[in-house]
Amino acid sequence: MRYISLVLLASFISISAFNGVAAEPSAKGLEIAQERKARDRGWNNSEAKILMVLRNAQGQEATRKLNVKSMELTDDGDKALTVFQSPRDVKGTAFLSFSHVFDADEQWIFLPALKRVKRIASKNKSGPFVGSEFAFEDMTSFEVEKFSYSYVGDETINGEACFVLEQIPQYDYSGYTLQKVWIDKSHYRVHKVQFYDKKGALLKVLELKDYELYKEKYWRPIRSEMTNVQTRKSTSLITESLIFDTDLSESDFDKNSLKRAR
Amino acid sequence: MTKSIALLVTSITASFSLLANTEVTGSAGGELRYFLQDALYEAQERAYGSVFFSPETYTEWNDGEDSLLFKPFFRADQHDEDRTHFDVRELQWMHVADTWETKIGIGKVFWGQTESIHLVDIVNQTDAIEAVDGEDKLGQPMVNVSYFSDFGTFSAFVLPYFRERTFESVDGRLRPPIAVGDALYESDGEQSHVDYALRWQASISDWEVGLSYFSGTSREPELVTTVNDEGQPEILPYYAQINQVGVDLLNVYGAWLLKFESIYREGQSEDFAAVVTGFEYTTQGIFDTQYGLGVLSEYQFDEREDNFFALGQNDLMVGLRFIFNDIDGTEVLMGYVQDLDKSSTSSAFIEASSRISSHWRWKLDGYFFSSDDTDDTFYFLRRDDHLQFTLEYFF
């Protein structure tokens, strides 16, 4: 649901130089993750129009259009409101999510035909988001405390020198045992994530592409492509428009605003 | 009648379109109901075809602080003249501020947390002729003010006009032996009696908590059997003045949702309490597949002994929800409800649906009723098991 946070997941930061002394892998990993988060602080709020393209193993495509409002909280995880514009049968269906640093995330769904707000079970985070290859947990905002880290080396991808980190989810009910993350050294942007399932086998690969700079500080990928290597299904998220510093306030992110979201 | 409705709908929609940012969406479709057994009562058929149309026009101004929504609904049924009906589901002006909102016009609200019955949900009348699950509602004229605070949402409703529950005509299935006749009221004001409702709802960490109060004309009638001037027996719906308090709770516990609703109602032929409580447990990726599976169970209790609409007197519902997690959004929900007092009384349902394309969706619903107890509601419906196929176009 938090498409934007996904985008967040991909935005970064620099870290102070490591004076050439090899730190402990876990300490260095944590340091990189902290810098990644620190570089993304202060983006305030944003509104995005997202195109989601789902593909099955046979290459058949289906699209969804989503409007995503996001808000940064300084002392907790972010808030996001996602509203479906298409397909038409789910138009007006909306998700509200509060990411938390320590507690379980809170999520609600609004079903417009019944005018009903339903709470979503927190364990549902490992489940797919609307039939896509993104799980609910892939959509929530990146918080340093959600993982433990290990720095495993350097690698160059897409012409960018990257740190390679292994991060293990520390929150309850994750569908993953491990995530391997490629973060570039120049801006601390995530370029690639590998997700390993409960058996330790590679499940999905996320690639974040076409980074653009907003507010002269915040990098956001225009395309995010998630491929399930086990089923060969894939999902792309394409940012069609993205604006920051809108007049959103915290009252735009509650169950009352969920009911009137369009 | 049809002409004037068409004129009304067209003129309201046209006046909307004079405003900027008007959005017209909605759906239309066809439905086929097939009953698995021969009819119990005369004039009833085996198969009923119908078509429906429900456009929705929306416009907003003042940066979305004000909005207007118009959503009429029309169904034409092949045999049942009462199921051929028109309703204004919504025609509402909404004004939103930071800490409060008002809704004036015809609207719909939903209260509650459980799945198998909705005890607390009382503002809107059930459009019972639409579907047996009772989830279709008639538009309710209202003036509503809600205040949003750190301690939850407080809402007050003034409901100036009463909507009668819809019932099948003599040509329709799913009815008592005689078609339900004209309404009787306790209040001399009849449909003009002004009703009131109050509600508080809050999310408190892992809990959803709601309290509600209603005073006015009961949405659920009692059925009265009489003899008319011509000496013919009649079944009439009687709408008493009631006071009702309700509480609804939900707790999130990992993969579990624990749900509870209870009401106490006074003013009808007996004062009573009713409770429904249960859980929904969802697990994703069952047996290493993409599928999700939900297990539901709810226990229903109602103090009333002899009431056509009090179905859950001491009943247990168990259900399964299959979530395919596919591109088409395929979902299947099936359930079985057993009366714990009378072993012969039970019912079952299946609701399946999936997307065909970005504009089309199919739905297959099945409802099955069984009872040997001549006093039971399901005894009258024991031959009304049916399948219902719907093809719906969204625009």
Confidence of residue A19 (pLDDT cuts 50, 70, 90): very low
What is the maximal distance between C-alpha atoms in chain B? 68
Low-confidence spans in chain B with pLDDT less than 50: none
Percent of chain A scoring above 90 in pLDDT: 67
Rounded distance, CA B300 to CA A33, Å? 51
Name the strand (E) or helix (H) holding B217.
strand B207-217
What is the 8-class DSSP label of residue A192?
A: E
Strand order in the sheet with B222-227: B184-185, B233-239, B222-227
CA–centroid distance for B5 within its chain: 24
CA–centroid distance for A50 within its chain: 13
Residues 264-283 of B with CB under 8 A from A: 280, 282-283
Residues of chain A whose beta carbon is less than 8 angstroms from a beta carbon of chain B are 54, 56, 60, 62-63, 86-91, 103-104, 106, 114-117, 119, 121-124, 126-128, 130-131, 172-173, 175, 231, 249, 251, 254-256, 260, 262
pLDDT for A127 equals 86
pLDDT for A2 equals 41
Query: Would you say B266 and B256 are in contact if contact means Cβ atoms under 8 Å apart?
Result: no
pLDDT for A125 equals 82
For residue A20, pLDDT over 60 is answered with: no
| Domain boundaries defined on chain B | 20-394
Which tokens sit at B147?
């205040």
pLDDT for A77 equals 87
pLDDT for B18 equals 66
Query: Would you say A114 and B112 are in contact if contact means Cβ atoms under 8 Å apart?
Result: no
Q: How many domains does chain A have?
A: 1
Cβ of A131 within 8 Å of Cβ of B361? The answer is: no
Instruction: Determine phi and psi for B212, rounding to 5 degrees.
Output: -145, 155
Could you tell me the residue range of the domain that residue A30 belongs to?
Answer: 3-260
Cβ of B285 within 8 Å of Cβ of A91? The answer is: no
> Residues B75, B77, B83, B85: what is their CA dihedral angle, to the nearest 10 degrees?
30
pLDDT for B1 equals 59
pLDDT for A172 equals 83
Cβ of B282 within 8 Å of Cβ of A121? The answer is: yes
Rounded distance, CA A215 to CA A156, Å? 27
Q: What does the pLDDT look like over A94-130, one tens digit per residue?
A: 999 998 877 888 999 999 999 999 999 877 788 889 8
pLDDT for A102 equals 75
Through-space distance between the first and last CA atoms of chain A, rounded to whole angstroms: 15
Nearest CA in chain A to B107: A115
Instruction: Please tell me the pTM assigned to this model.
Output: 0.89
Give all strands (DSSP E) within chain A, no chain letters.
45-55, 61-71, 79-86, 94-98, 106-111, 116-119, 147-157, 160-169, 178-184, 190-196, 202-214, 218-228, 234-244
CA–centroid distance for B139 within its chain: 11
Instruction: Determine phi and psi for A258, rounding to 5 degrees.
Output: -60, -40
Query: Would you say B132 and B116 are in contact if contact means Cβ atoms under 8 Å apart?
Result: no
Between the CA of residue A84 and those of A16, B1, B14, what are the distances in Å?
41, 36, 26
pLDDT for B2 equals 67
Q: What does the pLDDT look like over B330-378, one tens digit per residue?
A: 999 999 999 999 999 999 999 999 999 889 999 999 999 999 988 888 8
| Domain B20-394 fold | Porin (2.40.160)
Which tokens sit at A3?
């498409």
Sign of CA dihedral B6, B8, B13, B18: positive
CATH of the domain at A78: 2.50.20.10
Tell me which of B252, B291, B322 to substitute to probe the interface with A (most A C-beta atoms closer than 10 Å).
B252
Q: What is the mean pLDDT of residues A1-20?
A: 40
pLDDT for B19 equals 66
